[in-house]
């Protein structure tokens, strides 16, 4: 039975119990074939995600299958021969991170006298967190399936929501989402060929995450789009630092550093104004975060300050030797204060952990629409 939650986190969890989380702000992926179902024989590309390095297929068990993967212009991107497993599985992956599946790529799988070919169709998705909607492109007149792929908050159940959409004669499709989308939520659009191949395009709702005391920040925009992000003095309006990362495939994530006009790194500080084009409602005055953690009591005390955009949702993550050892997702008090017993089980929404001296804790304070301000602290005695 899911533990009882307080009001705000309850609302978020009810929404995100349909979302799966491998790690906070994870890179969204699917288990090949999990949603596609049984693939028809003899050869099929049963999972292709645009923007990723791998081609997954199915063939008769033990079949020797030669894959030739070419760009739309004809250049060979990958060539490999494999023997299908006892379950008929085939996994072809490029070792070059820049070699990814793209619209127009041509795939040919050959096994003896049997040949199966596919051209990757135009298939795109854009997530609009402000309008709570999705849109994109697909083959004209095709029936497509849109799916939720998870979100930025922990949950115990996989995502279930999906709907069919039909691409117009111009190849456009759109869909309203029946809940409030926040930054980091993932969605995919799926196309099925007449031969049983499954092609996916994925995207996540844009967001920005900044860390107090650090110049590095992260987030997401649309694949190939530049995210212009700046820090300004909220009083004088002076631009202190800028960055212009590009959303990387497959879902548009980015990581960058704030730098001034001379190229020097500029750490984020409370009170700075953050201006960005990733979403119309992502601008904010960066709030402060206070937090301490005690190994003796397992208590984390602190406060998420509010500059007008606080969601009063706290996500605590505990790291030990580089690995995440526990997490807690809870509401703060009305003024942003919190006192969390990290080792207390059965209360709230959490993976409890015994706090030890030297543990690193990431204190994440959620802003409205899914942007985050966070601070790293180290547990004391």
Quote the CA–CA distance of 125 and 203 in Å, as a whole number: 6
Q: Using 50, 70 and 90 to split pLDDT, how confident is the model at 159?
A: confident
Question: In terms of DSSP bridges, do strands 229-233 and 239-243 run parallel, antiparallel, or are they unpaired?
Answer: antiparallel
Selection from 263, 207, 260, 270 nearest residue 230 by Cα: 260
Question: In terms of DSSP bridges, do strands 44-49 and 198-204 run parallel, antiparallel, or are they unpaired?
Answer: parallel
Q: What are phi and psi of 340, to 5 degrees?
A: -115, 125
In this predicted structure, which of 30-34, 82-86, 157-161, 191-195 has the lowest mean pLDDT? 30-34
Residue 351: strand, helix, or coil: strand
Determine the pLDDT at residue 234. Answer: 94
Cα–chain center distance at 371: 13
Considering the four listed CATH numbers 1.10.10, 2.60.40, 3.40.50, 3.40.1580, the one that applies to the domain covering 126-204 is: 2.60.40
Determine the pLDDT at residue 41. Answer: 55
Determine how many CB atoms are found less than 10 A away from the CB of residue 12.
Answer: 25
Determine the pLDDT at residue 83. Answer: 97
Identical fold, 44-119 and 126-204: yes
Quote the CA–CA distance of 128 and 109 in Å, as a whole number: 37
Q: Using 50, 70 and 90 to split pLDDT, how confident is the model at 112?
A: very high
* Domain residue spans of the chain: 44-119, 126-204, 207-285, 288-378
Cα–chain center distance at 214: 22
Cα–chain center distance at 139: 25
For 214-245, the pLDDT digits (tens) are 999 999 999 999 999 999 999 999 999 999 99
Quote the CA–CA distance of 374 and 117 in Å, as a whole number: 48
Determine the pLDDT at residue 153. Answer: 87
Are 351 and 360 in contact, with CB atoms under 8 Å apart?
no
Determine how many CB atoms are found less than 10 A away from the CB of residue 63.
Answer: 19
Question: In terms of DSSP bridges, do strands 229-233 and 372-378 run parallel, antiparallel, or are they unpaired?
Answer: unpaired
Quote the CA–CA distance of 293 and 266 in Å, as a whole number: 27
What CATH code is assigned to 207-285? 2.60.40
Considering the four listed CATH numbers 3.30.465.10, 2.60.40.1930, 2.40.30.10, 3.30.70.980, the one that applies to the domain covering 288-378 is: 2.60.40.1930
Determine the pLDDT at residue 287. Answer: 98
Determine how many CB atoms are found less than 10 A away from the CB of residue 74.
Answer: 7
Determine how many CB atoms are found less than 10 A away from the CB of residue 77.
Answer: 20
Give the CA radius of gyration of the chain.
23
Selection from 163, 130, 137, 126 nearest residue 148 by Cα: 163
- 44-119 topology per CATH: Immunoglobulin-like (2.60.40)
Selection from 312, 371, 374, 373 nearest residue 152 by Cα: 371
Q: For all residues of the chain together, what is the average pLDDT?
A: 90
DSSP code per residue over 276-343: ESS-TT--EEPPPEEEEEBTTT-EEEEEE--SS-EEEEEEEEEEETTEEEEEEEEE--TTSEEEEETT
């Amino acid at each position: 039975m899911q533990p009882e939650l307080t009001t705000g986190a309850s609302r978020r969890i009810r929404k995100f119990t349909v979302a799966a989380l491998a790690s906070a702000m994870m890179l969204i992926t699917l288990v090949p074939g999990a949603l596609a179902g049984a693939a028809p024989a003899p050869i099929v590309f049963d999972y292709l995600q645009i923007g990723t390095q791998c081609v997954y297929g199915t063939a008769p068990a033990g079949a020797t299958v030669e894959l030739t993967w070419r760009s739309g212009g004809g250049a060979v991107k990958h060539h490999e021969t494999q023997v299908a497993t006892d379950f008929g599985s085939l996994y072809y992956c490029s070792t070059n991170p820049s070699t990814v599946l793209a619209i127009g790529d041509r795939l040919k799988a050959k096994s003896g006298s049997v040949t199966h070919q596919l051209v990757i169709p135009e298939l795109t998705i854009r997530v609009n967190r402000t309008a709570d909607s999705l849109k994109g492109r697909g083959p004209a007149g095709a029936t497509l399936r849109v799916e939720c792929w998870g979100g930025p908050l922990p949950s115990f159940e996989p995502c279930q929501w999906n709907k069919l959409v039909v691409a117009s004669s111009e190849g456009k499709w759109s869909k309203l989402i029946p809940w409030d989308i926040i930054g980091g939520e993932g969605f995919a659009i799926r196309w099925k060929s007449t031969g049983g191949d499954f092609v996916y395009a994925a995207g996540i709702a844009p967001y920005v995450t900044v860390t107090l005391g650090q110049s590095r920040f992260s987030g997401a925009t649309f694949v190939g789009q530049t995210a212009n992000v700046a820090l300004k003095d909220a009083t004088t309006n002076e631009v202190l630092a800028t960055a212009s990362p590009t959303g990387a495939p497959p879902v548009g994530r980015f990581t960058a550093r704030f730098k001034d006009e001379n190229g020097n790194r500029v750490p984020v500080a409370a009170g700075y104004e953050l201006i960005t084009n990733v979403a119309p409602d992502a601008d904010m005055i960066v709030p402060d975060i206070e937090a301490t953690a005690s190994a003796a009591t397992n208590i984390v005390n602190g406060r998420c300050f509010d500059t007008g955009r606080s969601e009063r949702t706290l996500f605590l993550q505990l790291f030990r030797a580089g690995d995440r050892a526990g997490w807690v997702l809870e509401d703060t008090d009305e003024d942003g204060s919190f006192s969390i017993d990290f080792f207390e089980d059965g209360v709230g929404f959490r993976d409890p952990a015994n706090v030890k001296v030297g543990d690193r804790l990431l204190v994440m304070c959620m802003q409205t629409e899914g942007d985050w301000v966070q601070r790293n602290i180290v547990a004391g005695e």
